Structure 1
Amino acid sequence: MRVIMFDIDTLRADHMGCYGYGRDTTPVMDSVAEQGVCFDRYYCPNAPCLPSRASLISGQYGIHNGIVGHGGTAADMRLQGAGRSFTDDMSENGLFMQFRRAGFHTVSFSSFAERHSAWWFNAGFNECFNVGNRGGESAEMVTPHVLDWLERNGEGDNWMLHVHYWDPHTPYRTPADYESRFQDTPLPDDWIAEDIFKEHLLHIGPHGANEINMWNDDTFKQWPKHPGRLETKEAAKHLIDLYDDGVRYTDDNIGMILDYLKEKGLYDEDLAIIITADHGEDLGEFGVYGEHGMADEPVCRIPMIIKWPGVEGGRHVNGFHDNVDLLPTVQELLGTERFGSYHYDGVSYAGTLLEGTDCSRPYEILTQCAHVCQRSARFDHYVYIRTVHGGYHLLPDEMLFDLEADPHEQHNLAQERPDLCAKGAKLILDWNDAMMKTSAYDADPMWTVMREGGPEHCRGHLQAYMERLKGTPREYGIELLTEKYKGFE
């Protein structure tokens, strides 16, 4: 058996054809979905990059493994403590170690561990290829290494490749000579009307239309396509086109690898393919462009496509699942044993793959503490978002959206539906209590982030940002920011 896992940064599920997108962004991945199982309501429970992959690798939510942010104490995996033996339990029970235990030769093509000083990510790999750009690389820097490895080793058996692509991640970075596939085609869902975009021009907070570079409108010569600001509705479309180009460019490179496997006769029934992402992206939602800074649907809903030997393909699964579930699923599929008394928060859905059994949850709890501090409850066709620190956006403390009627989260129903807000708040409270009861630590890491000064990407920026607002149509925001975030700067 051979396994290849495509780990794609910042891939919104709803910008893929197999999830209903109207542009031809993912023809190769769509073809894999036709042969595999496509999970329609799959989530990253801890956004963005570092917390999400910590959950993926550990099989635990951030409230247990300790990683919910991008800086401070909550950016490090919690120490096992006195119970640690010669090796720690997380490393021995992590996702990639399952393949090692099952006898696979494991290889990663990724710079993630270096980018975030997250060396635990490499546990279980025999080989690690890091092209050295700390996430600044594009696919043409990664794919040749994968093809070279396959040329030398692909005809062997029992290998597992982890291939990490960054191209949909801001700054949107397709090569200079890569022609856009989408600049001349309309958006399938042109929801950013002129009046909405005018509101976006008045947005207060990072990564708005006036500050694509988070806190300013700087541009960088190494990423010439990525704009510093958006001045028109057409410019907003252009940014979304660039994102879709990044998705398509990733898909093109996946196609090169799969074409090679087909050419060599290695694309067969015994080849397993996993396609997923760490998180999605807000592309105008909440007035935010080119960032993954909320615990909302566009950021937290991710693809999960699995083609696995013996599993009937061409199916879509509708129940709620999240990325802590992959580890126990792989463990069950491979028949590996757990090391020590390590606890998984994830629930195996091997039964769903093999027999069509419903292994889903009734709801999801989503957390974001790198750009904002939020916890959300995703249930039925609603998302309830509770904001503790708004990341210097002027967000209400409670938001509720009907995602079937309002997929871009434009109409906050919190005032109209206090009953659903109460339901969402209770789901979060009950989940939090259950998690803390089973935690070996006293502190909820979200509150550790708050005690250490708030989300990492906000620290030290408020005063300079308010200076930037002076003398502009957004000057009104200075007083509101000062009042709402008193004590944080």
Structure 2
Amino acid sequence: MRILYIDCDSLRPDHLGCYGYHRETSPNIDDLSAEGRTFTTVYTSDAPCLPSRTAFYTGRFGIHTGVINHGGRNADPRRHGSSRRANYPGRFRTLASALNNAGIHTTMISPFPDRHDGWQVVEGFRELYDTGGNGGERADEVYPYARDWLEAHATEDDWYCHVNFWDPHTPYRTPAEYGNPFADEPAPEWLTEDLIEQHYQESGPHSAQDLKGWVRSWDRPRMPPEISSREEFKTMIDGYDVGVRYMDHYIGKLIDLLRERDVLEETLVVISGDHGENLGELNVYGDHQLADNMTCRVPLIVRGPEVEPGTDNDLRYQLDLAPTLVDLVGGDVPEGWDGRSFVDAVTNGSADGRDELIVSQGAWTCQRGVRWDDWLLLRTYHDAYRSRLEDVMLFDLAADPHETTDLSTAKPNVVDDGLARLQRWHDDRLLEAARGERGGNPDAPNGVTDPMWQVLREKGPYYTWDRVDDYASHLEETGREEHAAEIRDRLE
């Protein structure tokens, strides 16, 4: 089998036409969706970039690998301990290793391993091509690497090629000469002037007044310095959507190449991403800082041989895709994976999703989210000095997809249900760690410790390190003394 896996950094599903978006951002992806199977409720188990790709390629939850942060001890996988001999334990083979064992030649075209020293995602790959921009490259800079590899190998049998595009990742950097195909189209209506005004008075990195995060100035033509009006919001949304459209154009060129080589119908094409992107939700603009629906939900489109076209609405983890791919190539799924194959859903449309999903964030905030039925519960352990985040928040995603109304006070029974689900999940994962079941490994250093508590004990989420005094001063300088005082109180 041939597999082309297209990894679109920071791509949120609801900004694609095939997921119902009102702008034509993704004509080529939409064509793949129309001919393939589109999965609507797939979530990364661990956000953002490094935890997400680690979870996918190892097939294991961050609570088992330890990788939930971008710095400190929890940016590296826990080592295998006494079970590590001349080679890593077979039960913890990576996706690339499992594919190799099934006779699939594996190639990665991405700067990601070097960007975050995330070399665990490369384990088992036969070829690695670093596109050289450390995650800042545009689609026109990534495409030649993928084109050259496919021109040389597309007609060969049994390969897996991972191609990593970055254009939806902040800051939006599509070339100016590409223009703005959405100049005359309105931005999403959910973000009102009143809500923008409220956001503007609050605190937090990448909030409305501090869109630049901890940085004080920048010159990004497709991204405004702040969000103080609907016009500035439109500028940001246009920047994101143009990045998606620009990337989609080059994805189309890759599909055309497969078609020209007469192998498209024999190639499994997978479109997904490492995480989504908040575009104003919970006062996060143009970043991926939470364990919420916008940061953790990812697109998943699968098109190719044996795929049953249609739509799948079941709850699934993205790491469930790893054993699914191994099953599709006839390989053996490692017993130490947390992921659960949904190959029957891909090939015949079976409904076999999960009852609930627990997702994690440990690099910007420390949060866990619980997603079940139409509900999202957020449990916050470290808020990254964001004034909008309560310890427990509850949202009805069917009625309020942009998370504008916290129902935790109005729905105490639902909150209790969500917290109970979170506790059961937490206990079950640590029990697996203690027993050495599924993704757990008691031989690993701190193998039966929740990495979230390690992050909190160490220095907190990485992107808050050594920033707080300066940020409190900035809040004072911009008339938000109340928020500055709260931060300083917490530091004492």
Common topology (TM > 0.5): yes
1:333-378: CA deviations, max 9, x gaps?
A: 2221246xx4111111011112322221011101111100111111
2:417 to 423, 435, 440: 423
Matched, 1:274 2:267: no
Q: 1:92, 1:153 → 2: CA distance? A: 29
Whole-angstrom CA distance in 2 between matches of 1:400 and 1:237: 28
Quote the residue 1:41 is aligned against. Answer: 41
Distance 1:150 1:61 in 2: 32
Write the letter of the residue equivalent to 1:418: P
Secondary structure at 2:454 match in 1: helix
- Name which of 218, 222, 227 aligns with 2:224: 227
Query: Which residue does the alignment assign to 1:444?
Result: 450
State the distance in 1 between where 2:207 and 2:215 align. Answer: 9
The residue type paired with residue 35 of structure 1 is E
**Deviation of residue 90 (structure 1)?**
7.1
Q: Residue 38 of structure 2 aligns to which amino acid in structure 1?
A: C
The aligned runs of 1:108-147 (5 Å cut-off) are 108-147=108-147
Instruction: Name the SS of the counterpart of 1:377 in structure 2.
Output: strand
Going from structure 1 to structure 2, the CA distance change for 1:38 and 1:338 (only over 3 Å counts) comes to closer
CA shift digits 1:216-244 (9 cap, x unpaired)? 34215xx5433332332201111011001
Q: Tell me, yes or no, if the aligned pair for 1:91 and 1:123 is still in contact at 8 Å.
A: no
How many angstroms apart in 2 are the aligned matches of 1:398 and 1:116?
Answer: 31
1:155 partner letter: T
Q: Is 1:327 the equivalent of 2:322?
A: yes
1:416-467 deviation line (CA, Å, top 9, x unaligned): 1111110110000000000000112131000100000211001111110011
Equivalent AA in structure 2 for residue 261 of structure 1: L
Q: In structure 1, what is the Cα distance between the partners aligned to 2:308 and 2:405?
A: 40
1:311 matches 2:304 = no
The aligned residue for residue 256 of structure 2 is 259
| Pick aligned residue for 1:473 from 463, 479, 483 | 479
Say which of 399, 405, 420 aligns to 1:411.
405
Task: Give the alignment partner of residue 345 of structure 2, picking from 345, 349, 352.
Answer: 352
Displacement, 1:124? 2.2
Shift of 1:91: 9.5
| Post-superposition CA distance 1:35-64 (Å, at most 9, x none) | 111111100111110111111011111000
1:237 aligns with 234
Secondary structure at the aligned position of 2:177 is classed as coil
8 Å CA contact retained: 2:320, 2:339: yes
Give the Cα separation in 1 of the matches to 2:316 and 2:182.
Answer: 32
Q: Which residue matches 1:11?
A: 11
Q: Give me the whole-angstrom Cα distance separating, in 2, the residues matched to 1:356 and 1:141.
A: 37
Offset of 1:266 from its aligned partner? 2.1
Name the CA distance, whole Å, in 2 between partners of 1:349 and 1:404. 25
**2:280 aligns with one of 277, 280, 284:** 284
Counterpart amino acid of 2:419?
A
Tell me the SS of whatever aligns to 2:478. Answer: coil
- Name the structure 1 match of 2:390: 396
The two structures, once aligned, show a CA RMSD in angstroms of 1.5
Is 1:386 matched with 2:379?
yes
Distance 1:311 1:448, change over 3 A: same
Mapped contact 1:91–1:97 kept (Cα < 8 A): no
Give the Cα–Cα distance (whole angstroms) in 2 for the partners of residues 366 and 177 of structure 1. Answer: 39
Q: Helix, strand or coil: the match of 1:371?
A: coil
In structure 2, the residue matched to 1:53 is: 53
AA aligned to 1:435 is R
Counterparts of 2:325 and 2:346, CA distance in 1:
11
C-alpha separation in 1, matches of 2:356 and 2:244: 28
| Percent identity of paired positions between Structure 1 and Structure 2 | 39
CA distance in 2, matches of 1:105, 1:436: 35
1:300 paired with 2:306, answer: no
Q: Helix, strand or coil: the match of 2:209? A: coil
Report if the CA contact (8 A) 2:102-2:332 is conserved.
Answer: no
Q: Is the 8 A contact 2:42 2:299 kept in 1?
A: yes
Q: Distance in 2 between matches of 1:224 and 1:23?
A: 21
Instruction: Say whether 1:432 aligns with 2:426.
Output: yes
Give the stretch that moved more between structures: 118-127 or 397-406.
118-127
Look up the equivalent residue of 1:193 and give its one-letter code.
T
Partner of 2:194: 195
Query: Post-superposition, which runs of at least 4 consecutive aligned residues in structure 1 deviate over 4 A?
Result: none
Q: Name the residue aligned to 2:209.
A: 210
Q: Structure 1 pair 99/308, CA: closer, same or farther in 2 (3 Å)?
A: farther
Q: CA deviation at 1:409?
A: 0.7
Query: In the TM superposition, what whole-angstrom CA distance separates every residue of 1:119-172 from its partner, at most 9, and x where no partner exists?
Result: 111122221110222111111111011111222222222222111001101111
Q: Does 1:95 align with 2:101?
A: no
Instruction: Please identify, of 149-158 and 440-449, the stretch whose mean Cα deviation from structure 2 is larger.
Output: 149-158
Counterpart AA for 1:256: K
Deviation, 1:3, is 1.3
Amino acid at match of 1:469: L
Distance 1:92 1:401 in 2: 36
1:210–1:216 contact (8 Å) kept in structure 2: no
Cα deviation for residue 93 of structure 1 reads: 1.9
Counting only pairs closer than 5 Å after superposition, residues 331-346 of structure 1 correspond to structure 2 as 331-338=326-333, 342-346=335-339
3-state SS of 1:42 partner:
strand
Q: Aligned equivalents of 2:228 and 2:71: distance in 1?
A: 32
Count of residue pairs the alignment pairs up: 479
Name the aligned partner's letter for residue 209 of structure 1.
Answer: A
Unaligned runs of 5+ in 2: 434-441
Name stretches of at least 5 consecutive residues in structure 1 with no aligned partner.
Answer: none
The answer to whether residue 369 in structure 2 is matched with residue 371 in structure 1 is: no
C-alpha separation between the residues in 2 aligned to 1:293 and 1:408? 15
CA distance 1:91–1:240, shift in 2 (3 Å): farther
